[in-house]
Structure formats: structure tokens, C-alpha cells
């Protein structure tokens, strides 16, 4: 570094000092006697306010290094508090954000007593209403509107204790009056609720506004599952007569007690609901949901919904079939969750309609001629699992190492004496149509000729009601704590029972009757294990597979943890925990 002249005081005024710095900046040599005064002169310059002149004595390189060094010091000083903040805090959910989900269909009856046949209705019911109990992310039944419950030692009385902080969306408190009112409507045949069968013969005793008792005539192990029924507000519905029950505006603009409440809807020129918006319930008893708004857009087909996603019109997809995954664009911004449900698809044999199917050898041959792995690969793009039993997806410890019919074409041929002609009936749902054609291709290889009958939903419902089919390709849905009574007991062979195979076995009847009265889970599982062994041996159906419910979510959404659900609408079981926005909070 160059030096100053001998003493700062040699400069008589600021102009002389400026001249000196000018000389330095022009790289002119100064005598050696001037070098000693540099530090003292700079300090005096600083004390006399001449700091602005110091850069004039530095080279470009020296000025650059000082600038960099200064910026580093300033940057470090500024970053220390931020670094410290992030070190001692964690990201936590914050309120805010929204998303729009696409679904196939349209809402008609957003009413827990009337919504059982429409997935869109059930989805909205699960968001707007609450039940006494609900399934959590692990598929376990937990209290919801109920604070707790008790079961009497004889298994006949169920006492429910309500929360004291639950309110309807209009501000009224939820009480046992609402619970009693809802169950009585379910029991009344004038309201036409499919829930009636679950509550027949149940006596209700209201103790006070927070305590209610349900009394059974006989033990029913799975009765607690009925408490997932969503509750209606008495003050909103009590003046509506049964004849107008399905016509009320409340079926599209509901008042519930759930995590989200109705905001608005939009119809098309035909009067169909095309868009629906919900907003967070600020007074939800489990805490305000983090996400502010949820929108739905409804489509006539899965292809139309996928097209809307590809055009950025929606962020979530309520369901996409495995065969359609390849049609989705922007997959990197979408999380596809494979949700398992206690359901299966199968071919049910009506032995009353077909002499061929009354022959057990033919029924067993059909089982051996079915390549389930190929079906799962071809129809589901491997998004499913093989089913070989009427008991699946159970929370009970049921033995799955039972006899199964392995794919064996030669064994199937050996069981058939001659070619067989059969008729297979199913719905227009694309997956079932594809499945029916795949089965036809497999079975013709062993000499079984199949005629496929494709029916509309209304035609199929009538056909099932009349049991007017030889073989029915259809799906069955159980619960996570299953009661297959309505599916396989001989008393359910005719409508409104769901014994689609018209199966009749006295031993099975006894096992099913005893199992639903057995409160001990282990003993109940043993009875169901024996039940499934007998059914598999009798071969009244070909059990095919359980397809996963593929749910598409934008990756902006966090907090979704479900893997096992009882029905598609249960994917919203922990909706109040979902979040999009985050904030920092001090770690504990």
C-alpha cells in the first residue's frame, strides 16, 4: 500500500487533501518519508469526516476485495437470525388454499338416508355431515360426534355419549334429539331409506341431550358399524313430510355438522349440477379444517374428467381406472394413491336358471379356466389383487390359507364332458365390459362358449331384482368388520337380499347366524373361516379380483394418510388434517 505525506496537518484545507488523493489515483510516486503517516492520516480522515476520500488511495483490486469482504460480513450478520430461526423451528400446517376435484356423475341427494347408490352423493355427505362414529386412516372405527360409547355385558345395549362442542352449520347445537330423529326416519318405511334394514327392531332411549341408548333384541357383533350413519338436523327436517323427503332443497343445499359446509352450486341448462363448492366449517368440533375451500366439477364420463385434468380445469381426480392412467398428462404433479377396499368382483352362478351351472364340475371347471393374473394385468394394469374367497379386506384375523382353484386349463378340460353354452350378464361400465370379453376369451379355450349380455344400470337393476340371469359379472362390497349375511345366507336369495348366487347351504346359514352374534373377535373369525372354506368348496361363483381405488391428488396437498377404506367416500375421513399452506413454528 502507498503512503501519505508526513502528517495530516500538512494539508491546509480539503482541496489540498483532494489533490493528494488525485495524485495517488494517477499512480504518481511519493517520497519514502511520506509512508509513515498512512495509518495516522486515515484515522484522522475518519475522525474529521473524510471517509469518502479513502477509496481514492486504493487500487481497483483492493476496492473489490474490500467490497466482497464487507458484503460477506453483512450477509453473515443478516443470515444469522434467519438460520437460527429455521434451525429451531419446524414447518407446520397453516390455514388457506383450495383445490378442485373432478368426479363422474352428479349430486342428486346429498342426504345420508338416501345417498347409498351414488358415489358423488356419498362423497359430499361425508364432507358436510358427521356420524356418531367414523373410520380413521387405518380403517379402524373411532368416535366422531360421539365422545365415547359403552356396550353392556350382554351385548344388547349401546350407550352413546355425545360431544358438547358439536354444532350445525347454522349455529344450532347437535343433541340426542337429532340422533333420535335421524334413526327414527331410517326406521320409518315411508322415508324409503336403504338404511332401514340396519335399524329394524332397535329401540331408542334418550337419557338427556348428550346421552342416548340403543337397545337390541338380540346380540349383533357388527352393530357398532351402523353408527357411521351421518346424522341429520331435526330442526331443519322435522316439518318435511315423507312424501317430500326426496324433493327438499336441503338435498342439494344441506345443513350438516361436518368439516365443510355448503357454499354454492352451478347448474347447466338442463338443470344438472355441474359445479359445487364447499367452505371450511370454522366451528368444526375437531378443529377448523386447514384448507379453505373445496370445489367439485362433475363429468359424464371418466374420459371427460381426464380431459379436464389435462386442460388444468381440475387438480384432483376422484377415481381413475388403471387402464386410463396412461392418458393422464402432467403425472409428476399428481399423487396416485392405491386405496384398498373390502370389495371384490366375481361371476355369480344362478343354478336355478341354468342346468349346466347346477353341475359342480362345470362350476369348478370355470374356476380352473380363469387366469386371474392375466385379468389383473390386462384390465387393471396390475392395480389390483387376486381374490379367491368371499371374505376379504377384514380387520378380523381370518385365515387366508384356504383351498383355492389354481389356473389349470388341462384340469378344466378334464372336468368337462362336452362343450358348454352359457350367458354372462353385466353392466355397461367399461371395466366390466372389458372383463367380460377377457373371460370369454379364456373360457372358450376349454370348450365353454359365452354369450355376453350388456345392460344399462336400470336394466341391470331390474334383472338382478328378478334374478333373471345365468351368470352375473358384478361386484360385492363388504365392510372392514364384515357381515356377509346378506350376501350368502339363504334367506337373502330373493330381493332385497344380495345373495346373487342364490346360494343355499344350511351349515353356512348356521355359521353366519352364529358369527353375527359372537362378540369375541377371535371366535367370530373362526366361524367366518369355516364359512369361507365351505363356500369355496361348493364353487357357487368365480371370485376374481379386488381392484384398487386409484385416487389422484395434486402434490400441493399434504396430510392425506389413508390406505384402507370401507368405501370411496372414506378417503375424506381425515379431511380436517389435509393442508396446502405451511408456516414455521418453534420446535418443542
Instruction: Check pLDDT > 50 for residue 367.
Output: yes
Average pLDDT estimate for 106-117: 92
Cell 344400470 -> residue: 457
| 3-state secondary structure (DSSP) of residue 309 | helix
Select the more confidently predicted residue: 87 or 135. 135
Instruction: Check pLDDT > 80 for residue 83.
Output: no
Q: Which residues contact residue 575 at a Cβ distance below 8 angstroms, ignoring those fewer than 6 apart?
A: 127, 259, 260, 289, 291
Quick check: 516 and 528 in contact, CB under 8 A?
A: no
CATH code linked to domain 343-547: 3.10.105.10
pTM above 0.95, yes or no: no
Beta strands 549-554 and 471-477 are unpaired
Q: What angle do CA 293, 298, 302 make, to 5 degrees?
A: 125
Q: Which pLDDT does position 403 carry in this prediction?
A: 75
Sequence ranges of the domains in the chain: 8-87, 98-339+549-586, 343-547
Write out the three cell numbers for 463.
Answer: 334383472
| 3-state secondary structure (DSSP) of residue 211 | strand
What sign does the CA torsion over 411, 412, 418, 419 have?
negative
Select the more confidently predicted residue: 440 or 139. 440
Quick check: 7 and 36 in contact, CB under 8 A?
A: no
Q: What is the mean pLDDT of the chain?
A: 89
Among residues 343, 293, 272, 333, the alpha carbon closest in space to that of 108 is found at 272
Q: Determine the topology of domain 98-339+549-586 in CATH.
A: D-Maltodextrin-Binding Protein; domain 2 (3.40.190)
Q: What is the pLDDT of residues 64-81, one digit of tens each?
A: 777 777 778 777 677 676
Q: Which pLDDT does position 298 carry in this prediction?
A: 98
Q: What angle do CA 333, 572, 325 make, to 5 degrees?
A: 35
- 517 pLDDT band (50/70/90 cuts)? very high
Point out the least confidently predicted range of 141-155, 389-403, 477-491.
Answer: 389-403
* Spatial separation of the C-alpha atoms in residues 548 and 336, rounded to whole Å: 11
- 44 pLDDT band (50/70/90 cuts)? low
Amino acid at each position: 500500500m502507498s503512503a501519505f505525506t508526513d502528517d495530516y496537518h500538512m494539508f491546509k484545507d480539503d482541496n489540498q487533501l483532494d489533490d493528494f488523493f488525485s495524485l495517488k489515483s494517477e499512480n504518481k510516486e511519493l517520497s519514502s518519508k511520506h509512508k509513515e503517516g498512512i495509518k495516522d492520516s486515515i484515522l484522522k480522515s475518519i475522525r474529521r469526516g473524510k471517509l469518502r476520500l479513502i477509496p481514492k488511495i486504493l487500487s481497483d483490486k483492493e476496492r473489490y476485495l474490500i467490497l466482497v469482504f464487507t458484503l460477506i460480513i453483512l450477509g453473515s450478520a443478516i443470515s444469522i437470525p434467519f438460520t437460527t430461526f429455521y434451525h429451531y423451528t419446524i414447518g407446520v400446517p397453516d390455514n388457506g388454499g383450495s383445490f378442485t376435484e373432478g368426479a363422474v356423475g352428479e349430486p342428486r341427494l346429498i342426504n345420508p338416508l338416501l345417498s347409498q347408490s351414488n358415489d358423488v352423493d356419498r362423497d359430499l355427505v361425508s364432507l358436510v355431515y358427521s356420524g356418531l362414529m367414523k373410520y380413521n386412516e387405518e380403517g379402524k372405527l373411532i368416535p366422531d360426534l360421539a365422545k365415547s360409547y359403552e356396550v353392556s355385558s350382554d351385548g344388547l345395549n349401546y350407550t352413546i355419549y355425545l360431544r358438547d362442542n358439536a354444532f350445525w352449520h347454522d349455529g344450532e347445537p347437535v343433541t340426542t334429539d337429532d340422533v333420535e330423529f335421524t334413526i327414527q326416519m331410517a326406521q320409518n318405511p315411508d322415508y324409503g331409506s336403504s338404511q332401514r334394514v340396519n335399524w329394524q327392531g332397535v329401540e331408542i332411549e334418550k337419557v338427556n341431550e348428550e346421552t342416548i341408548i340403543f337397545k337390541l333384541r338380540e346380540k349383533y357383533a357388527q352393530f357398532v358399524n351402523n353408527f357411521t350413519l351421518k346424522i341429520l338436523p331435526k330442526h331443519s327436517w322435522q316439518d318435511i313430510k315423507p312424501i317430500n323427503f326426496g324433493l327438499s332443497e336441503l338435498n342439494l343445499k344441506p345443513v350438516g355438522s361436518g368439516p365443510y359446509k355448503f357454499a354454492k352450486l352451478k347448474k347447466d341448462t338442463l338443470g344438472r349440477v355441474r359445479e359445487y363448492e364447499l367452505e371450511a366449517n370454522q366451528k368444526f368440533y375437531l378443529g377448523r379444517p386447514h384448507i379453505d375451500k373445496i370445489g367439485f366439477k362433475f363429468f359424464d364420463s371418466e374420459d371427460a374428467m381426464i380431459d379436464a385434468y389435462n386442460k388444468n380445469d381440475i387438480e384432483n381426480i376422484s377415481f381413475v381406472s388403471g387402464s386410463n392412467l396412461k392418458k393422464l398428462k402432467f403425472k409428476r404433479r399428481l399423487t396416485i394413491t392405491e386405496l384398498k377396499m373390502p370389495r371384490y368382483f366375481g361371476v355369480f352362478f344362478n343354478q336355478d336358471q341354468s342346468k349346466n351351472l347346477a353341475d359342480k364340475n362345470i362350476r369348478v371347471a370355470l374356476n380352473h379356466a380363469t387366469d386371474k393374473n392375466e385379468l389383473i394385468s390386462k384390465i387393471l394394469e396390475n392395480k389390483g389383487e387376486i381374490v379367491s374367497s368371499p371374505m376379504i379386506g377384514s380387520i378380523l384375523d381370518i385365515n387366508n390359507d384356504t383351498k383355492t382353484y389354481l389356473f389349470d386349463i388341462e384340469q378344466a378340460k378334464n372336468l368337462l364332458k362336452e362343450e358348454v353354452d352359457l350367458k354372462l350378464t353385466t353392466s355397461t361400465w367399461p371395466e366390466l365390459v372389458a372383463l367380460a370379453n377377457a373371460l370369454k376369451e379364456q373360457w372358450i379355450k376349454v370348450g365353454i362358449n359365452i354369450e355376453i349380455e350388456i345392460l344399462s344400470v336400470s336394466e341391470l337393476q331390474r334383472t338382478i331384482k328378478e334374478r333373471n340371469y345365468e351368470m352375473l359379472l358384478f361386484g360385492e362390497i363388504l365392510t372392514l368388520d364384515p357381515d356377509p349375511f346378506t350376501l350368502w345366507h339363504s334367506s337373502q336369495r330373493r330381493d332385497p337380499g344380495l345373495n346373487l348366487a342364490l346360494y343355499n347351504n344350511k351349515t353356512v346359514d348356521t355359521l353366519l347366524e352364529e358369527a353375527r352374534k359372537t362378540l369375541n373377535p377371535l371366535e367370530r373369525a373362526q366361524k367366518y373361516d369355516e364359512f369361507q372354506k365351505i363356500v369355496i368348496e361348493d364353487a357357487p361363483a368365480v371370485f376374481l379380483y379386488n381392484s384398487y381405488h386409484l385416487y389422484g391428488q395434486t402434490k400441493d396437498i399434504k396430510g392425506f394418510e389413508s390406505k384402507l377404506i370401507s368405501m370411496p367416500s372414506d378417503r375424506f375421513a381425515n379431511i380436517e388434517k389435509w393442508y396446502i399452506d405451511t408456516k414455521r413454528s418453534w420446535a418443542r
